Structures are given as structure tokens and as C-alpha cells.
Amino acid sequence: MNVPNTITTSRIVLIPVFIAVFYLPFDWAPALATFVFWFAAITDWLDGYLARKLNQQSAIGAFIDPLADKLMVITALVLILSKDPENNWLLFSSLIIIWREILISSLREWMAGMGKGDVVAVSFFGKAKTTAQMLALLFLIYRQDLFGLPIYTLGLGLLVIAAVLTIVSMIVYVKSAWSTLSDSNS
């Protein structure tokens, strides 16, 4: 285990902590849950930066980093849905994001197995989706108005934007892989 992989593993270990804090029955629990999620998001950036800076990129890191991200995001979406199960915008946006994560992860794995993993490298739309999604999740976890701003409503709007960007990025990835997908010899 190198430093970046240890940081990535800590993100997975934070998931049960995040769940426990999310359901604490205290007024300060949403702020603490938001902090835990924010900290996990920062470790996602930090582990990638350190892996490149320290030249400690590894096969296990390439596997557990996206796994940790998806586990944390899906956990956050499910927890947020558990507190607002009647909100169809939240439900449909969450389903789109989760479905896309499964589809693109499978596509990347399949393409990498064919030696063409670079064909589905992260795109601008993928990065924009991730940014909107992470901000949305931070706002939705916090839930409470802040300085007169309707944080939950802003988070919901950002999640819908993230869902739209999710669809766009999915189309970009599938389109870039289409020649390999449609090749009858593959």
C-alpha cells in the first residue's frame, strides 16, 4: 500500500462513518455529514494528485479509486433519497446518475480488457458532471438554508443539471467507444 492507495482506502472506510453521522438526531448532524462527505471528496482529488506527483500510480489504485468514488456517491444519493422519498426530481436524477455510473464503469472495464481503455478517458462533460454532482450532494446533505439561500433547492437544481450532464457525458463515452462496440470481431 502506497500513500495514494491508503488515502483512497480511507475514503471507503469513511462510508460507514458518513452513514452514521447522516442519521444522528442532532441539529449539527447535517453539517458534520456534509463535512465528512466534503473530506471524502477532497481525498479523491488528493489521492490522484499524489499518485501522479509521487509516481505511485498502481493497478490496485486504478481499481479502488473509481470504486471508492462510486460507493460514496451512491451512498449519498440513497441516504438523501431516504429523507425525501417523494421527490421525483431527486429520484429520477439519482437513478440516471447511478445507471450511468454502472454503464460507464462496465464500458471502461470492457474497453480496458480490449486494450482500448484510453478511448473512454475522462471527458470535459464527465468532469463538469462530477463538479455539479459533488456540489449538489454537499448542498443536499446539508439541507438547511444558509444566509437566506435555499441550500436544498439549489442542491436539487444542481443535481438535475448533473443528471443532464450525466446523459451528455454518457453519450460522449458511448460514441467514442462505438466503433469498438459495433465491431463484429470484438
Q: What is the pLDDT along the chain (186 residues), one digit of tens a residue?
A: 788 889 999 999 999 999 999 999 999 999 999 999 999 999 988 988 888 898 888 888 878 888 899 999 999 999 999 999 999 999 999 999 999 889 888 887 787 777 766 666 666 887 888 899 999 999 999 999 999 999 999 999 999 999 999 999 888 888 888 877 777 454
Residues 6+ apart with CB under 8 A from 139: 151, 152, 154, 155, 158
Give CA 138 to chain center in angstroms.
12
Rounded to two decimals, what is the model's pTM? 0.89
Q: With beta carbons less than 8 A apart as the criterion, state whether 176 and 125 touch.
A: no
